Chains A and B, each alone.
Chain A
Amino acid sequence: MLQFLMSPNFWASVLASTTPVLLATLAANIMTKAGLFNLGIEGTMLICALGGVLTSAFTGSLLMGALVGMLLGIFVSFVLGYFILMMNAPMNACGVAINLAATGGTVFILVMICGSKNNSSSLVSSFFPSVNIPLLQNIPVLGQILSGQNFVTYLSWIFVALCYYMLYHTKLGLNIRAVGENEEAARSAGINVLAMKFIALALCGVFCAFGGMYLSMGSMHFFTAGMVSGRGFLSLAMDAIAQGNPLIGCASSFLYGFSDTITVYLQLYSQLDLQLISAFPYLFILVVLIIIQFVRSRIEKKKQQSQI
């Protein structure tokens, strides 16, 4: 029953389904490092997914679509930032507000423009192409898995690397981490705390935008209502595992991609109840999270005891 684990197709789709969650997790990572908690990642992704589709449909240009999607992501994050940082609003409630506006607002705009409550398939929008990597695609198995993925998938890997490098090897990253860990200290060192947080929010917006656009302009070629379906929320759990580290975030996103794909395959090949299997990725991530956190607290305790 599990022979599909051997097929390159399976692993290729693992990478594909990892992509949006990976980008969302990256967004959550940078928020954690800057000392913020963004419940609105889900909504931001949804807004960008629609924004990208609509712009590309009207301008006929993929580039414009991607650009507007990105700017929309930054804009939404800045609205959130404005209320949290300048107006002292609670982070959780503001994230929820963004999500509400996104779920309802995207449907409203969809109806206004496409006349359908469900999807934008009546529009012809552009999408990110799949990319075949020369040389790599000729290697058996590995080429089938790694080559031919969507452009955004490769982009997400580049983002992980850049984000990691930025956080740990540049002054900007040092400043963001300092702000997230000890805001007062950063402020007294002359760092502009607000600016750092807004930079982090902008990055978060860009990552969310590509995560959302991958769904509507990559894995699918049109927008459907509620298409993010909890990936933004999952990223928060993934980030709780990673605690802000993009590499661990990447690894845990891969775990999600694996569990999500295996769910699809099981639904195809097994007799198990379909709906209960749908809960599997969530359950899997939850269990991983609980185990990791439990081990972490054990290690901490041991450390303390060994010192005594």
Chain B
Amino acid sequence: MKKNRLDPMKYFSVLRIVCAIAIALAIVFVIIFFVSDMPVLAIRKLVLGPLETKRSFFNVLERAVPLIFSALALNIILRSGVFSIAADGSFYMGAVIATGIAVKIQLPNVIHQCVLILVAAIIGGFISMLPIVLQKYTRVNATVLSIMFNSIFFYVGYSIVSTYLLEKSGQWGSPYFPDTARLGNMIKGTSMHWGFVIMIAVVVFVVFLMEKTSFGYKVRVTGINSNFAKSAGIKTGKIILGASFISGMVAGMGGAIEMVGMYKRFQWQSSVNYVWDGLMIHMLANENPYFIPLIAFFIAYLRIGAEIMSRATDLDNEIVAFLQCIVILLVGAERFMYFIKKRHEQKLALQQAEEAALKGGA
């Protein structure tokens, strides 16, 4: 009997997220109907486009890779209770460092990729630590600091490429990467690369780290109730610092893998801002790293669908932005669909009170 009592609430958070996505999609469809001359085609392309060709389906998988890295990086740091988005800077710098090592240093295949990913990860880690360290000494909000650092590192990375890694002829960008530095094609006819495999390994690593190790446990406790964590003897400052370093490592690694996996040369002239997508995925995954790949595929699917749609119709692919905004707002809102939970909670509280009264009387 006791087990039954909780069942309806078990899937409450999943239900909420599904509803939020459904509402957001519905609103986007309405917008399409209002502004497009060929709404049905547009919706078909948006929803089914990615399944039409093998190439576009694999595009979804590739597109999910950087999203997953960003979301995992955010998952680690946000769950420690600090809202730092320094992962963006780590990601961009990771790509820059990878470019530098790919172009300037000659190493045998395999070792070359390992070195560049590793160095990018470590530097990414240090970059993510900066806002946390400065917050401690200046007591300025880490969010503000991390945003400032993202801008600074974008310009620093950009000027590193401009000054040291620029190909003199042709379009702005670095020289082409040697084959020893690239992550190669896994499946012919697509641009699927070995970064996908590394991504899976990192997902497993983060899941283990956050859910199965004592470190992950401490990070979670710190994020949920830092007073409690402190009084239980956890050194919260160190834990947050550690979490920020690992978060930055994941982001830096993601930047490096995206660069040498998907591109032939460095051509990012504007900041890539995967971090906002990562934040949305982290929230939709209900802060659970298990679900991050799944949600990331979903977002990547929508992105690719929107691109296919914009090629086939008069609509621009940025329409996805509305969807993202609505989903974040609704999922974030505690009160969204709270009335269902409220009724249940009140019933439970009264029930407990009755039980206690019975016991007290006996």
Enumerate chain A interface residues (CB-CB to B < 8 A): 37, 39, 79, 83, 86-90, 92-94, 96-101, 103-105, 107-108, 111-112, 117, 230, 233-234, 236-237, 240, 273-276, 278-279, 282-283, 285-286, 289-290, 293-294, 297
State in angstroms the CA–CA spacing of A237 and B142 once bound together: 11
Inter-chain contacts of A107 with B (CB < 8 A): 316, 318, 321
B115 within 8 A of A: no
Residues of B within 8 A of A (CB): 35, 83, 134, 137-141, 143-145, 147-149, 151-152, 155-156, 158-159, 162-163, 276, 279-280, 283, 315-316, 318-322, 324-326, 328-329, 332-336
Cβ–Cβ < 8 Å partners of A101 in chain B: 321-322, 324-325
In whole angstroms, what is the CA distance A83 to B318 when docked?
Answer: 23
Chain A residues with CB under 8 Å of B324's CB are 97, 100-101, 104
CA distance A2 to B318 in the complex (A): 44
Chain A interface, >50% SS class = helix
Known contacts A105-B321, A275-B158; decide if A89 and B147 are in contact (CB<8 Å). no
- B276 and A96 within 8 A (CB): yes
Q: How far is it, in angstroms, between the C-alpha of A85 and the C-alpha of B163 when the chains are bound?
A: 48
What 4 A-B pairs come out closest when comparing CB atoms?
A: A104-B321, A101-B325, A275-B159, A279-B155
Give chain A residues whose Cβ lies under 8 Å from the Cβ of B35. 112
> Are B138 and A289 in contact, with the CB atoms below 8 A?
yes
Are A104 and B318 closer than 8 Å at their CB atoms? Answer: yes
Contacts of A94 in B (CB 8 A): 328-329, 332
The reply to whether A100 and B144 form a contact with Cβ atoms under 8 Å apart is no
Please name all residues of chain A whose beta carbon is closer than 8 Å to the beta carbon of B333 when the two chains form the complex.
83, 87-89
Complex CA gap A98/B326 in Å reads 9
Q: Taking A87-B336, A97-B324 as contacts, is the C-beta distance between A92 and B158 under 8 angstroms?
A: no
Q: A105-B321, A112-B315, A236-B147 provided; 5 other pairs, C-beta below 8 A?
A: A96-B328, A98-B325, A104-B318, A286-B148, A297-B138
Residue on A nearest B283 in the bound complex, by CB: A93
Minimum CB–CB distance for A31 against chain B, Å: 12
A232 to chain B, nearest CB (A): 10
How far does the Cβ of B111 sit from chain A's closest Cβ, in whole Å? 31
CB of B155 within 8 A of CB of A276, answer: yes
A-side contacts of B332, CB under 8 Å = 83, 89-90, 93-94, 97
Contacts of B148 in A (CB 8 A): 233-234, 237, 282, 285-286
Residues of B within 8 Å of A83, CB to CB, are: 329, 332-333
CB-based contact B159/A293 at 8 Å:
no
Q: Identify which of A98, A100, A101 gathers the most chain B CB atoms within 10 Å of its CB.
A: A100
CA distance A3 to B190 in the complex (A): 57
Instruction: Check B328 against A117 for contact (C-beta < 8 Å).
Output: no
Closest residue of chain B to A102, judged by CB? B321
Q: How far is the CB of B21 from chain A (nearest CB, A)?
A: 14
Query: What are 8 residue pairs bridging A and B, where the CB atoms are less than 8 Å apart in the complex?
Result: A87-B333, A88-B335, A90-B332, A100-B328, A111-B316, A286-B145, A286-B152, A293-B140
Question: Which residues of B sit under 8 angstroms from A290, Cβ to Cβ?
Answer: 134, 137-138, 140
**Quick one: which of B144, B280, B329 contacts A89, CB cutoff 8 A?**
B329
Give every chain B residue within 8 A of A289 (Cβ-Cβ).
138, 140
The chain B residue sitting closest to A88, CB to CB, is: B334
- Closest residue to B320 on the A side, CB-wise? A104
* Chain B proximity of A300: nearest CB distance (Å): 10
**Docked pose: A45 CA to B360 CA in angstroms:** 60
Residues on the A chain within 8 Å of B279, using CB? 93, 96
**Chain B: CB-nearest residue to A276:** B159
**What are the residues of chain A within 8 A of B143 when measuring CB–CB?**
37, 39, 92, 236
Q: Which residues of B contact A111 (CB under 8 A)?
A: 316, 318
Q: What's the least CB distance linking A273 to chain B, in Å? A: 5
Partner of B144, one of A117, A240, A273: A240
How far is it, in angstroms, between the C-alpha of A83 and the C-alpha of B330 when the chains are bound? 8
Q: Check B276 against A100 for contact (C-beta < 8 Å).
A: yes
A279 to B157 Cα, complex, angstroms: 10
What is the distance, in angstroms, from B253's C-beta to the closest C-beta of chain A?
Answer: 23
A292 to chain B, nearest CB (A): 8
Cβ–Cβ < 8 Å partners of A286 in chain B: 145, 148-149, 152
A90 neighbours in B (Cβ, 8 Å): 332
Closest B residue by C-beta to A229: B151
* Complex Cα spacing A97 to B322, Å: 9
**A283 and B152: CB pair below 8 A?**
yes
A104 touching B328, Cβ below 8 Å:
no
Does B138 lie within 8 Å of A293, measured CB to CB? yes
Which A residues touch B321, using CB under 8 A? 100-101, 103-105, 107-108
A86 to B329, CA, bound (A): 12
Q: Are A108 and B318 in contact (CB under 8 A)?
A: yes
For B155, the chain A residues whose CB sits under 8 A away are 275-276, 278-279, 282
Shortest B64–chain A CB gap in Å is 18
In the assembly, what is the distance between CA of A47 and CA of B66, in Å?
28
Name the distance in Å between B69's Cβ and chain A's nearest Cβ: 18
Separation of A87 and B332 alpha carbons in the complex (Å): 9
**Nearest CB in chain A: distance from B332 CB, A:** 4
* Smallest CB gap from A28: residue in B: B144
Closest to A281 in B: B151
Instruction: Check if A97 sits within 8 Å of B325, measured CB to CB.
Output: yes
Q: Complex Cα distance A83/B332, Å?
A: 8
Bound-state CA distance A8–B331 (Å) is 52
User: Which residues of the other chain, B, contact A87 by a CB distance below 8 angstroms?
Assistant: 333-336
Q: Choose among A79, A233, A276, A294 the residue that contacts B138 (Cβ–Cβ < 8 A).
A: A294
Contact A279 B156 (CB under 8 A): yes
CB neighbours (8 Å) of B162 from chain A are 273-275
